[in-house]
Amino acid sequence: MAIDPVCKMTVEEKTAKWKSEFQGKTYYFCAPGCKKTFDKDPQKYLGPGTPERKGGECCR
């Protein structure tokens, strides 16, 4: 299982419909809204200081 970097929900890599490549790594998303949010500013959701989110409007 992967963790959606935007909302922190778990995502099954094998069945994930939404994914992005960034710096040679694949990231998986629970919904198109999370992918779109991540694609705008990937660095915001990676590493220390990552915003804490748990599902919500981004997941639509």
CA 52 to chain centre: 12
pTM above 0.75, yes or no: yes
Which pLDDT belongs to residue 47?
74
Which pLDDT belongs to residue 32?
95
CA gap 42, 24 in Å, rounded: 13
Q: What is the mean pLDDT of residues 28-56?
A: 83
CA gap 6, 30 in Å, rounded: 9
- Secondary structure in 3-state letters for the chain: CEECCCCCCEECCCCCCEEEEECCEEEEECCHHHHHHHHHCHHHHCCCCCCCCCCCHHHC
